[in-house]
Structure formats: C-alpha cells, structure tokens
Chain A
Amino acid sequence: MSARQLHTFRGGIRLDPHKRETQDLTSRALPIPEKLILPLQQHVGAAAEPCVKVGQRVLKNDVIAHANNYVGMRLHAPSSGLITAIDEYPVIHPSGLTAACIELTTDGEDLAPELNVADDLNTLASQAVYQRIAEAGIVGLGGAGFPAHVKVLEGTGQTVDTLIINGVECEPYITCDDRLMQEYPAEVLAGAALLARAIDAATCIVAVEDDMPAAMNALQSARPERIELVSIPAIYPTGGEKQLIKVLTGREVPSGLLPIDIGVAVLNVATVVAVHRAVASGQPLIERLVTVSGDVSEPGNAKVLMGTPVNYLLEQFGIDDVSEYRILSGGPMMGTEILNLAAPVTKTVNCILILRRELAEEPASACIRCGDCVPVCPVGLQPQQLYEATRTSDIDLAQDFHLFDCIDCGCCAYVCPSQIPLVHYFRYAKSSIEALDRDRAQADLARTRYEMHQRRISMRLESGPAVGVELADVSGLETNELQGDIRAAVARSNQRRRDDNGI
C-alpha cells in the first residue's frame, strides 16, 4: 500500500454495499448454452458488419463480424457451432428495442483453432499491443464499452503520466471485478504493467474500495512492481471515471474533455485482464464475469459467454419465477431494467440484479425544491432546476443548467423525498437533444446538397454548351472496348440532361 495523498470529490452518498452476499464466493463456470445471441452493437461505437452467412459453421474465437470504423469493434464466436440466423432480437435497452444480432447454435464441442501467442511481452511494440487489443474485440468492461484499443492508442499518441486501473466497484451488489482481482491478481498486475509500458505512463495505480480487503490482499500477494495499490473510501460514485481521477490525483477533467486531455487514462480491471489475455495469448474477448445478486437465495458470480440469454443465466442460478421481481442489468443506481429476458449478456453487462418489486410503489409526487439533491450531486449540478427544465422540455434552460455534465449516477433520485426518477428525465432529455442535433445536422446537409444542386443547374443553364465540350474530351481519348462503353454511357446521360433542360 502506498502513501498516496487522496483527495475527495464533492457530493456522493454512502450506500449499503450488499457486497457480502457474493464477495467471497468463487465464480462458477456454466455449461455452454444451446443458443448464443450476439448483438452487432455492444458498445458506444458503430455496429459491426457480419462476415458470416446463415448456415456457416464457425469455431470458437472465429471472427463473425468486422469493425466498420475506428470506434468500431469486431465480434468473435464464443463457442463452436452453426450460424442459424442474422436477425432482429430483443436486447437490453431501456425502451425494449430489438437490434440486429447473429444467432449461433452451439454444438457443445467448443472446438477452437490454435491461438496466436505472443513471443515476448516485454519487447512488444506499442503498435503491436494496440493491434492485438483491437483484434481481440476488447471494449471497456466497466462502463459504456468504449473500445479499449482506442483508449490505448490515444494514450500512445498523447502524453499520459498516470494510468489508473479502476477496480472500484462502487455500485451496490456488484462484485465481478472484486472476484476477478481475487481470482486473477497476477493477470491484473501483468496487464497493468503491459499497458503502462505501451502508453509510457510514469505512474500506474490500481484502485480498489476499502470494503474489498480480500481483493487488496490478493493483489498485494501477487507482488506488484512499480504499480501502486490504493484503497479508497467507499463513497458512491467514487468508481466513476471523473470522480476516481479526482480522488487519486486531485485533478479534474475539464467539462467536455476526456481524461486523456489531462494526461490520465482509466481502464477497468476486467478490461486490463482481457487486454493481457489478448496480448499474451491472442485470446479474444468472448466471456466475462457477471454478478447475479439481489433478492435471490443463491447469488454469485459466473463466467458467462457473450450472447448468453439472460433467462438461461437466471436458470443456472435456480431462478425461474421472476413475476414479482425487477431484473436489472447493472447495479441498483444506474442499471437498466431488462424488459425481455431473452435478451443476451453483452460485453458491458457486469451484473444481473434481481430485486423484489415494492408491493405498494408510491407514485412520484411533486418536486418541492427541497434541494436535498443538490449536496449529493458529485458534479455540482442542481437537479431540481434540471428537473423543471427537462420536465417542461426546455432544452436551452436544461443546457444552461449543464445537463450534459450529468454523469447519470442517480444520487439525486436516490435521496429525492418525492421519489421522482430524476435520472430518467435527464437521460431522456440528453438523448432527445442529441437526436435533435443529429436531425439538424442532417437537415443542414440536405439543404447544402439542395443548394449545390440548384447552383449546378443554374450554371449549366448559363453555359449550356459546356456539356458538349466534356463529350468532346471523352471522344478524344484512346479507344478500346471499355472506353467505348464509357462514351456510350456519357452520351446517354448527356442526352437525358438535354431532354431534362429542354435544350
């Protein structure tokens, strides 16, 4: 343990951690489910492009979908079997939408091709590390699922002095990172060292909460070298990227910028382990630890293959009747209710939380501006003002009250005596403003196109014969069969234009 000077962030609340239920239970291995549903979009970037066909046989770890762009991510088959459909399936989404998924019917044999093992981790160039991370399809496993190679690449491109490995699971109930650190401490440290070297960070910190002593002990006994292990007070939401940076370094990420802009990179411990596996042994990201907890008799953690349907996972934990329960993906503070249990576990699902429905759920009453939400907001927002603005869809006012600085942590809704689901209002407002901006950008583009089109028409009307000159140029070229075709096409299109313009 180091003597790092810790700082505090404003706001936050102490929550009943509910970690005891699952903290000390070894994570289970589950039998391979019969069907795996793999959404093409599992993270913040663009959806992946399938590169398999229905009826195609795939082996475990085979690439089944390609990344479309820089912030895209490829997908791998979590087990061997047959691609049986590429279609819309229910996914975990607040409004219960369906999304394009690849359905893989497993054969139970789990056949895998040989993996591409790295020769020597210590001499691997940064670029090679980045390459292997991207090939393994790793996204941030702690939060929004930002592609890990982008974070690392941005890190290699800019000066990063501090690499923070986030083992702070501040949401109640969730212990998958805790278990990961207890079960694979050496991999956590090896991955951290690997990344620190790749992005040339002088300081590398692994942060855990002070209510995870077992994880801390495991990491310590794995003998970290040049890696600081820091235990920080368990105040929700201290695991939030910006709050964690503040606590560990005293620095604040300027509003609208990224941690990288102040020389800090933050990666979740599970991401770091996945990175280590990818770089060292070429293992793509096809499974993760998931906590199953809440009002259940046998909670625990399990190694879950990507694409495992939630109801299959629940069955493995002996849960079949869920009519009186709310099933959440994630923790009680920020989790999303899973509306269709056929939805699959994806890369960013860290917890399936089963909570008994309150028998007499009080409806939200009016906001009396009591201001209880103001001191708990870790950002320093005024949720009561934001609520008025978002409730009345006053998007300008909402942005004046810094709507986009909200980190969705849910502290305000938690303390609200009127039980107003404040975060729901804020999330909805954010997504509708984003949609509005997208629409506006599209309208701008369409208008520009139309104006250009109009200008071209007027130019052509002014200098009509110019079209003929173009034709003459084409005819002056060397002739062969191909160019003859081109000429014919140009002639046809010119004829059509003349007709259109009535020349």
Chain B
Amino acid sequence: MRQVLYALTPAIAVYVYLFGCGILLQLVIAIVSALVFEAVALRLRGLAPHAYLRDGSVIVLGCLLALAIPPYAPWWAIVVGVAVAVLIGKHAFGGLGHNIFNPAMVGYIFLLLCYPATLSQWPEMSKIIDYPGLWGSAKMIMTSPTEMLDGISGATVLDYVKTQAALMRMHSEMASAATFGMFAGRGWEWINLAYLCGGGWLLWRRVVTWRLPLSFLAGLAGAALLGYIVDPELHRGAVFHLFAGGAMMAAFFVVTDPVSSATTPLGMLLFGFSAGLLTYLIREFGGYPDGVAFAVVTMNALAPLIDRFTQPRLYGKTSETEHPSSTTLR
C-alpha cells in the first residue's frame, strides 16, 4: 500500500504546480478522517483497530477521493465523501476484502450526486490564477467564500466539450478554445501523464499486473478510435480520451483494486476492457462529462459474474467433464 502512495506523488506534485496548495490540505483532511472513520467502524464491529489500520488501504482510499474532488472544495465535502466511502462503501459490506464496490468511487459518486455544484468547481485551466498559499488555502477550504471560488473555477475540458457538443458545435469549431492543451485538455493532460508515470512504476515494481490497467486503457482508446474514425467532428480521438478527466487515475489506481474487480486472467481483461468502453460511452453519450466512476462501479457489480464464467481450464478437465462435483457428488 505504501508503494501505491509513492506512485501517487507525481500526480500530487502536478496538482500542486497547477492548482496550488489546496490539494495538500485536502489530502490531510482525507487521511485523518479516513483513519478516524475506519477506527470507529472497526470498533463498532468489535475488531481491534490497530491491526487493520496498519495495512494502509484506508489511507489510499482517502488520497484517491481527495484527488478526485476539486482542490478548493469545502472541508465537509471530503469528510462526507470519506465517511460514505469507509462506512457504507467498505464496512457495511463486511470490511476489507468484502466490499463489492470500490469504496473511493462510492464516496465520489455520493458527492457527485448530492453536491453536483461543489464537485464541479475545478480551477479554471485557461486562466492564469494566483493561487493562495498554504494559509490562504486553509482559509478557503474552511470557510469556502463563494465569490473567491467562483473567481477561480471554470469548466474542465470534458465539461466544455460536453456543453459545446450539446450546442451542436463541431470539434473543429472548438479546437481553438483555450481549454485545450498540447494533446488533450490543458493541465489535465499533465495530471494524467503523472498518473501514467506512477502507474508505470507500479507495473514495473509488480505491485499491479498489466491486465486490468492496460485492458481498461485499450477499451477506452479502442472505442474512442472507432468513434473518431466514424466521425471526427462529433467524437474526440483516443489520445484526448486517454489523457482527459480521471482516465489514467482510474486505469492504475481504481480499476486495479483487487477486492472489487475480477480475478481470473480472462476476467480481468474483460473487466478492464468493459470499464474502459463504458467510460467512453458515458463521456460521449451520457449525461456526465466523465464516466470513470460510474463505469467502474457498474463493472464492480458484474465482477462476481465475470469471475464465474471465466474460470480457467482445470488440470484434467475438458468441457465434457465440467463440474463433475455437481453431478457425481451432490
């Protein structure tokens, strides 16, 4: 788990560079509240907290959730999100190893559905903003003055594409917008690149295996490529989708959660690919600018089924002798 935290540092650094110190405070609030809620939940369940807190999984949960919400969101947002993630997403299902859904995504979706305005206040990328220092950030997160937040926040590139497409604008007409960067959304492309670096390191260290992240990216990129080939004026290309929104974060830090994803070799590929495909479909045809969280949670629900139907061939078993136990012994 510690290695996963190390792998998040490039992304956190880019956050700080782009958005200022807000993310650091969000991380602190997230980690502290995650530990507190975890301890409370363990106590309520009659388990010894120290043995479980040490594994660090709840810290990763807190960090992922903090990175998923706007860096200057009010303090209660992250606390509520973490509470839902830990108490409902994780412990209501039986705690570590038993949660059906990825807890961080559960917390994020809860916030997105209940506080859509708060969750949309991402800092504007196309403007040069003088971000407050550590103290100023703390004041902003604690008091959340509306006028200051409105001053810095704007549409993310995915929001922009969504609203413009709704206005029947072609992609060639939007291309000159300041929200686009070198190959994807301004700023967001660097965040995604940072996640990719961290994820690559995790792959190299064999903390995660290639099947889930790469099949997720393949699903997303494949669908985007197909859409682009069909009509480049209506659909963004593969590179844009790979480096926009939460794509890389999901690929390496969310889809790879072993508890809530499929575990058979073929199942992993199916799980990742479908999650990537769903992400694309929600982004291009759904009501939300980004679809990563919904895609992952949908696939989480299907993971047990996928596992059941993708069992590897057993030693000494052919299709005729499948399930001998259910016929001979029972």
Instruction: List A contacts of B330 (CB < 8 A).
Output: 396, 399
Beyond A382-B263, A384-B263, A396-B330, is A369–B317 a contact (Cβ under 8 Å)? no
* Residue on A nearest B317 in the bound complex, by CB: A255
Instruction: List B contacts of A404 (CB < 8 A).
Output: 325, 329
Enumerate B17-64 residues with CB–CB distance to A below 8 Å.
51-52, 55, 57
Instruction: List A contacts of B318 (CB < 8 A).
Output: 254
Instruction: List A contacts of B97 (CB < 8 A).
Output: 366-369
Assembled-state Cα–Cα distance A252/B263 (Å): 25
Assembled-state Cα–Cα distance A379/B316 (Å): 8
Instruction: List A contacts of B96 (CB < 8 A).
Output: 365-366, 368
A16 within 8 A of B: no
Contact of B258 with A371 in the complex, beta carbons under 8 Å: yes
Q: Mark A398-418, 1 if CB is under 8 A from B, else 0.
A: 011111110000000000000
Q: For residue B6, give the distance in angstroms from its CB to the closest CB of chain A.
A: 18
Instruction: List A contacts of B328 (CB < 8 A).
Output: 256
Q: Which of A242, A252, A366, A402 contacts B325 (CB 8 A)?
A: A402
Q: For residue A33, give the distance in angstroms from its CB to the closest CB of chain B.
A: 42
B146 within 8 A of A: no
Q: For residue B134, give the distance in angstroms from its CB to the closest CB of chain A.
A: 35
Contact of B316 with A252 in the complex, beta carbons under 8 Å: yes
* Residue on A nearest B260 in the bound complex, by CB: A369
**Stretch binding the partner chain, chosen from B65-73, B113-121, B125-133, B306-314:** B306-314
Contact of B263 with A374 in the complex, beta carbons under 8 Å: yes
Instruction: List B contacts of A254 (CB < 8 A).
Output: 316-318, 321
Q: Give chain A's interface residues, CB within 8 Å of chain B.
A: 9-10, 242, 246, 252-257, 363, 365-371, 374-375, 378-382, 384-385, 396, 399-405, 433, 437
Can you list the 10 inter-chain pairs with the closest CB atoms, starting with the nearest?
A399-B325, A366-B97, A371-B263, A255-B316, A366-B96, A380-B314, A370-B258, A252-B316, A379-B315, A380-B312
B265 within 8 A of A: yes
Q: Which of A10, A396, A433 contacts B315 (CB 8 A)?
A: A10
Instruction: List A contacts of B325 (CB < 8 A).
Output: 399-400, 402-404
B154 within 8 A of A: no
Most A CB within 10 A of own CB, among B263, B316, B324: B316
Q: Mark B250-268, 1 if CB is under 8 A from A, else 0.
A: 0000000011000111000
A/B pair count, beta carbons within 8 Å? 91
Q: Which of B57, B258, B315 contacts A405 (CB 8 A)?
A: B315
| Size of interface on B: residues with Cβ below 8 Å to A | 30
B176 within 8 A of A: no
Q: Which of A246, A253, A380, A384 contacts B313 (CB 8 A)?
A: A380
Contact of A374 with B316 in the complex, beta carbons under 8 Å: no
Assembled-state Cα–Cα distance A246/B315 (Å): 9
Q: For residue B222, give the distance in angstroms from its CB to the closest CB of chain A.
A: 24
Q: For residue B267, give the distance in angstroms from its CB to the closest CB of chain A.
A: 10
* Known A363-B51, A378-B315, A433-B329; further 5 A-B contacts with Cβ < 8 A: A246-B315, A254-B316, A256-B328, A365-B52, A437-B329
Q: For residue A7, give the distance in angstroms from its CB to the closest CB of chain B.
A: 12
Contact of B323 with A400 in the complex, beta carbons under 8 Å: yes
Assembled-state Cα–Cα distance A378/B314 (Å): 9
Contact of A382 with B258 in the complex, beta carbons under 8 Å: no
Chosen A-B contacts, 20 in total, with CB atoms closer than 8 Å, are A253-B316, A254-B317, A254-B321, A366-B98, A368-B97, A369-B258, A369-B263, A370-B258, A371-B258, A374-B264, A374-B312, A380-B317, A381-B314, A382-B311, A384-B263, A399-B326, A402-B325, A403-B325, A405-B315, A405-B317
B232 within 8 A of A: no
Contact of A382 with B264 in the complex, beta carbons under 8 Å: yes
Q: For residue A161, give the distance in angstroms from its CB to the closest CB of chain B.
A: 18
Q: For residue A366, give the distance in angstroms from its CB to the closest CB of chain B.
A: 4
Contact of B314 with A255 in the complex, beta carbons under 8 Å: yes
